[in-house]
Amino acid sequence: MKKLVLLAVALMLLPGALFSAEIIRDGDPAFFVGFVPTAQVIKGENYCDWIANTNFGFVSGTCTAMDTFCLHYWDDLGWAISSADFPEGACFEVGSGSYYWNEVCIQVPCDAVVGSFNNLCAYMAFCDVEGVCQPDSADCEDPNIYNGDPYYSTTCVELEVVVSPPALYILQDTLYYVEQGAVAAYIPFSICNGDPCAPATAYGYSIVSLGLVGPAINVLAVTGGVVGGTCEDIYGIIDAGLADVCDYDTLTIIAWDDATGTVYDTCVQVIHVVEPVPVPLFTTPVVTILVLAMILAAAVIMKRTAISKA
């Protein structure tokens, strides 16, 4: 008797998967939009892509109604799924012929090997009648055929780890237009810490112009700590108040690691003075407002006239 009691207790403690509730397949899961087939990633990147969780009951031969589904995610190398609009194992209802967009993100570790490959996959499964995700549940029909194209309940993307961008680089336009008469034209640059796995780094920089448009500038400054994988916007400010149309100038920017001075990048930005863009006074919204104001004013005047006559 004692052994039977112990056996009953042991059975009660066994994982619920051995006693999973009934799965009723009313709908037919598949992805109307899956992951892109392949993508390149760099170490430290948080890679994201969109998929569409869909109930293909409207084309299914057997499972044609609304149903409750869930998502199961996995990859080959054990990278972390950093976020998903529909988290792992969460149950959600989808009507037949309806879908939900789902952004899924995976974190590429900093110790990932350049040249290696990893497959990220998502599987759309059924939830049981108790509202528990059953990731091992078989699909109703796979694939579903819609307009002659197959749609599957599993989608995967092959991720290739490639070389990270330089630890420091500068982004700028090849040619930047400045309106004639602008006394403070902001010429934008971006100083970037290209390696997501690099620590936040302060960069020294200089911006020098030739002085062909306004007085020459000679700026020397330091950025804040630029976080790995991000950029900081900086500006060279030019006075084009007395410039003529078609005048030009060049701004040279040099940036370097402020702590070591060894890592640096340089770029040249050409600016071109153009005629100011006229701002129309009587645009459609302005005319509409004026007409409404005139109608209201006329109504007020007519009302006052009628009262005075009375």
Q: Write the pLDDT tens digit of every residue in 24-44.
A: 899 999 999 999 999 999 999
- What confidence score (pLDDT) does residue 282 get? 60
Contact predicate 256/205, CB 8 Å: yes
CA separation for the pair 75, 123 (Å, rounded): 11
Note whether 32 and 144 are same-domain residues: yes
Give the chain's domain count: 2
Question: For 110-123, how does the pLDDT look when each residue is reduced to its tens digit (9 = 90+)?
Answer: 999 999 999 999 99
CA separation for the pair 2, 50 (Å, rounded): 56
CA separation for the pair 155, 122 (Å, rounded): 5
Q: Is 0.85 topped by the overall pTM?
A: no
Note whether 133 and 238 are same-domain residues: no
Edge-to-edge strand order for the sheet containing 231-238?
Answer: 169-171, 185-192, 231-238
Q: Which domain CATH number covers 184?
A: 2.60.40.10
With 80 as the cut, is the pLDDT of residue 1 above it? Answer: no
* Across 132-143, average pLDDT: 92
C-alpha closest to that of 75 among 115, 35, 111: 35
Question: For 192-211, how does the pLDDT look when each residue is reduced to its tens digit (9 = 90+)?
Answer: 999 999 999 999 999 999 99
DSSP code, position 133: E
Looking at the domain assignment, is residue 7 inside a domain?
Answer: no
Looking at the domain assignment, is residue 16 inside a domain?
Answer: no
Note whether 182 and 233 are same-domain residues: yes
Looking at the domain assignment, is residue 5 inside a domain?
Answer: no
**19 versus 83: which is more confidently predicted?**
83
Bridge partners of residue 33, in order along the sequence: 52
- What confidence score (pLDDT) does residue 173 get? 86
Maximum Cα interatomic distance, the chain, rounded to a whole number of Å: 108
Per-chain mean pLDDT for the chain: 89
* Across 241-245, average pLDDT: 92
Note whether 153 and 31 are same-domain residues: yes
* Host domain of residue 66: 24-161
